[in-house]
Amino acid sequence: MIDFDRVIERRGTHSSKWDNIARLSGIKSPDAIPMWVADMDFAAPPGVTAALTAELQRAVHGYYADTGSWAAALVDWMARRHGVQVDPGWVSTTPGIVSGLGLILQAVSAPGDEVVVFPPAYHAFRRIIVANERRILDAQLVASAGRYAMDLDALRAKLSPRTKVIFLCSPHNPGGTVWSAAELRALATLCAERDLILVSDEIHCDLVFDGAKHTPTMAAAPEIADRLITCIAATKTFNLAGAHVGACITSNAALKRRLDARIGASGLGSYNRFGMIATEAAWRTGEPWLNELLPYLAKNRDLFDDRIQTAAPGARSMHLDGTYLAWVDFSGTGLAPEEVAARVSQRAHIFASPGEQFGPGGETWLRFNFATPRPILDDALARMDEAFSDFRARK
């Protein structure tokens, strides 16, 4: 039994989530609660701690020799958890997914080319596209039956000869949409029709709740294997974001060579020893921990949704099938987004991610990370209740 209720003090530990609050949000209060960036406040799986402890006790931390055991652990995980057969020869290791996305862009596109994203979408997609001097092509998601859907006809009409790549987030962040095999196949058809590379960022694939099932794009649409790159990591699943290790997977050998050339050109062919040890141990030993984590997170999601909607009448959470990032629309409160933001940050002292960060369609939304021990979640929800108490009284 893992004690996910245990509160671990993270202030003053070089935690970006906790120690960057004042700098990034302007919330100066020492009791501020961070509900922004996607890392969890739980201890890593015991097998990860054991592997890192063994490394620390040996106390020699020289260059890492990649013997293939890391990719083998990834392959076993993907087969066991997601029913897909990945060949270890398809795997390129990168210092995280976002760096992998940048390297992919450099490998398959040129400055000025267009890259499709489906907003509201993970903000680093936008950042890495612009930083690589490519252009963002927004394919607005539409909310339908309480979840997001892609409007591929609208996207088709927008594509140009400069459109080269699609960044898909699967499951989707924010909004927690788990794409169906049919939706993925429809997108794959579009990619084949218009000669586009599809990058399927599946970093949240293991964080799926209540009978929803993640379908790897490579399983849904094997017919586009030659134009598909799947991004996978153990870091989100097992709360090892600081380990900064990810994988880009493609069965297209020529495409992989182009990507590996970019990895080599940036001197990234030698990997972070601690990250490799931690993430391999996670895939090999972390499954029981994950199996206990998921119901804990699902309960947090239900508590959060219930209480946020009571605290701020009119606020609505999108029903998450995956991720631990509640996506809440405050437009139904009738309050201006600035007022909602001020109540959350200045009265509740909660740092949530502003919806506008995720691109068009996010303006009236806030994203809240609820992957925290229940005593912290309870405190946050009590503060939200207080922050909107006069608003409720006016109604």
Ligand X SMILES: Cc1ncc(COP(=O)(O)O)c(C=O)c1O
Where on the chain is the footprint of ligand X (CB under 6 A)? Answer: 38, 96-98, 122, 169, 173, 201, 203, 233, 235, 241, 246
Least CB distance from residue 1 to ligand X, whole Å? 28
Shortest separation between residue 390's beta carbon and ligand X, angstroms: 34
Phi-psi region of 259 (alpha: psi -120 to 50; beta: other; left: phi over 0): alpha
Q: How far is CA 38 from CA 70, 121, 222, 237, 352, in A?
A: 24, 14, 30, 11, 11
Cβ closest to ligand X, residue 17 vs residue 343: 17
Shortest Å, Cβ 236 to ligand X: 6
Q: Where are the beta strands (DSSP E) in the chain?
A: 33-35, 91-94, 114-117, 135-138, 141-144, 147-150, 163-169, 197-201, 228-232, 246-249, 316-317, 325-329, 350-354, 365-369
Q: Least distance from C-beta 279 to ligand X, angstroms?
A: 10
CA neighbor of 333 nearest in space, from 319, 353, 357, 317: 317
Measured from the CB atom, the residue of 192 and 294 that comes closer to ligand X is 294
Q: 136 vs 241, which CB is nearer to ligand X? A: 241
Of the candidates 246, 221, 224, the residue with the CA atom closest to the CA atom of residue 236: 246
Nearer to ligand X by C-beta: 240 or 281? 240
Beta pairing class for 197-201 and 163-169: parallel
Two tokens at 99? 């760096």
| Cα dihedral across residues 115, 360, 204, 182: positive or negative | negative
Q: Cα(278)–Cα(266) distance, rounded to whole angstroms?
A: 23
Residue 383, H or E segment: helix 374-387
Nearer to ligand X, 95 or 373 (CB): 95
| Tokens linked to 177 | 């949409």
Give 171 or 343: the residue with its C-beta nearer to ligand X: 171
Which residue is at the shortest CB distance from ligand X?
A: 96
Shortest distance, position 124 Cβ to ligand X, whole Å: 6
The CA distance from 182 to 261, in Å, is 34
Separation CA 107–CA 98 (nearest Å): 14
Instruction: Between 169 and 380, name the residue whose CB sits nearer to ligand X.
Output: 169
CB of 287 to ligand X, least distance (A): 20
Smallest gap from residue 145 Cβ to ligand X (A): 23
